[in-house]
Amino acid sequence: MQKILIVKTGGTFPDYAVERGDFVDWTAQGLRLAADRWESVDVQAGEPLPAPAKFAGSVITGSHDMVTDGFPWIEDAKAWIRQAVHARLPLLGICFGHQLMADALGGRAGYHPDGLEIGTADITLTGAAGDDPLFRGLPECFPGHVTHSQTALELPPGATLLATGLHDPHQSFRVGESAWGVQFHPEFDAPAILDYITRREPELRKNSLDSARIRAMVRDTPESASLLERFSAYCMSR
C-alpha cells in the first residue's frame, strides 16, 4: 500500500520544535497513520521531490517563508504541484502550502491587504462544501487556528471555494476532484497558536492589534483538526 508524502516547506521556531516537534510531526500525528505509512521530504532544504505516482497523497506544510520570496525551491515546488495535479494525486496544502498551490495553479498569492491574521478564526463553509469529500458533515461554521501575512489573493481558474472567513475570503478551495488548500492550520493545537501570538506580539502592537483579545478568543479546534484524518482516509480509500 502506498504512503502519504509530507512536503516540508518550513518549520516552527527551532526552540519550540525541540520542545514539541515540528510541522512535519504535527501533521503526521493529525493524519493518524502508522510510522511506516508516511514519509517526508524537506523541499526547503533542497531535497528533491519524488514522482507523484509513488504516493497515495501528499500534504504540503506551512512555512515562515513567503510564496513571493521567489527562492528556487519554491519554483521547484510549484512545478511539482502542477505535475501532481496532472497525475491526480490528492493534495492538501496548509497555509503557505495553500497559497503555493493557488499560485502554482494559475491564481495569485501575496500579502493580505488588511495585514496579519492570527489566533482562532471562524471558518464558514460555502454551499459547495456540502458535497466535498473532506468537508461534508462538518458544521457550517467551526473554529480554526490561523497565523499568516500572505494569502491566496486570487484562486486558480475553475477552483471551487469551500470556506471563507471575516478576514480572509479564501479559507479553503479545491481544484479538480482532489487538490485542496486550507489557509487555516489543522495541525496546530491551542498551545501552539498561543505561542505564536506571544512571539508575534511586537508585530501585533505595530498593527494596532489587541493581543489580549486575540488570546481570549483561542479555543480548541476539533473540526479543523479532523481534516487531516479525513484526508488520509480519503487517500487510502482510493
What residues act catalytically? 95, 185, 187
Query: For residue 94, how many other CB atoms are within 10 A of its CB?
Result: 30
Strand partners, 152: 109
Residues 13, 96, 161, 188, Cα dihedral to 10°: -20
